[in-house]
A = this chain, B = another copy of it.
């Protein structure tokens, strides 16, 4: 590992006021690292908040400072893209608990020591609470839209439930109103892989100048499978093999399957950019997300009286957040008499489809935003 994520200077906003957390503890102030793209217009009505997924960050539409790779959503966010940065002011912040400059286990406390395992458990609601302060700091009362996939979609739903008056439109993608038993199970295996790494040192690995790289890599490899689909893996890799080890005396069994090589690469490159304690913190936040439970078991109550326009998007081959889970959200929104459209995109690329070049998906987003823009202008005309 050349350098730790914490060593990089990120653009960030500091909030000195204490942040009460859902667990009952209070953070004595916090920092959110964030990036913006495009320009806020004069009446501050064109801001779109992009919420990132488990292992995403604020580098949504520009080269990543650690990996050197393109931003994670350049397929969607940029000049002329579905979220057109020539038209919209895009904000993306690293979540509370993250490891790219926002306050989390990998960031320093007031006394200079790292939070590490002392970092309190945070929820999706806490993440949104922190983001809301950032949005206010940027001088924005109401967001034109909040959008995100997977855990980003959980934040979108939480934003719409918590701050309906601050969310003109909401686009939750490939997500659900609670984490399923199967998804909790996968997260738990991830955590056990990290706990089992001897370099984890009960979370105090920084004190030992080590990281639980193998455990974190195993966690990432497993999670990566769940982001794809059987069809996508078959198309991409099938049963193709490649040689490994010295050529002399090599037998069939000295070859490895290409899908194995691919996964190992996914695992090893991930540990260079992600903090294990952050992974634990954020997977916990996802597992505890249950928007209905926060509203007496009735998801419709979360959106009661909401005037937000919703566009829900799922993908046919996504088995991590299957369409049925988002359809349940659509039904709750209908019960709440909310304004909702629901689009299922046909693709065999699994959960990852929301990050990829999927023209139907992109057209859905741009079309919905355009329609919302017209609605917004009508409302303004009525008010003025």
Measuring CB to CB, which residues of chain A are less than 8 angstroms from any residue of chain B?
Answer: 22-24, 121, 178-182, 184-186, 188-189, 192-193, 195-198, 214-215, 217-218, 221-222, 225, 228-230, 233-234, 236-239, 251-253, 257, 259-260, 263-264, 267, 284, 287-288, 290, 293, 319, 322
Set B178, B180, B263: member contacting A189, Cβ < 8 A: B263
Which residues in B have their C-beta under 8 angstroms from that of A293?
Answer: 239
For the complex with contacts A181-B259, A222-B222, 20 further pairs of A-B residues with Cβ separation under 8 Å are A23-B252, A181-B230, A181-B233, A181-B234, A181-B238, A182-B225, A182-B228, A184-B239, A184-B257, A188-B221, A189-B221, A189-B222, A189-B263, A193-B218, A196-B197, A196-B214, A196-B215, A196-B217, A218-B218, A257-B287
The complex places the Cα of A211 from the Cα of B24 at a distance, in Å, of 41
Nearest chain B residue, comparing its CB with the CB of A289: B239
Set B24, B192, B197, B259: member contacting A184, Cβ < 8 A: B259
Which residues in B have their C-beta under 8 angstroms from that of A214?
Answer: 192, 195-196
The reply to whether B180 and A230 contact each other, CB–CB distance below 8 Å, is yes
The reply to whether A121 and B222 contact each other, CB–CB distance below 8 Å, is no
Say whether chain A's binding surface is mostly helix, strand, loop, or mixed.
helix
A280 to chain B, nearest CB (A): 12
The complex places the Cα of A259 from the Cα of B179 at a distance, in Å, of 12
17 contacts between A and B (CB under 8 A): A121-B253, A178-B239, A179-B239, A180-B234, A182-B225, A182-B234, A184-B239, A185-B221, A189-B225, A192-B218, A192-B221, A193-B196, A193-B218, A196-B214, A198-B198, A218-B218, A252-B288
Set B189, B234, B239, B259: member contacting A218, Cβ < 8 A: B189
Set B193, B230, B252: member contacting A322, Cβ < 8 A: B230
Set B239, B252, B267: member contacting A181, Cβ < 8 A: B239
A294 to chain B, nearest CB (A): 12
A71 to chain B, nearest CB (A): 27
The complex places the Cα of A196 from the Cα of B238 at a distance, in Å, of 26
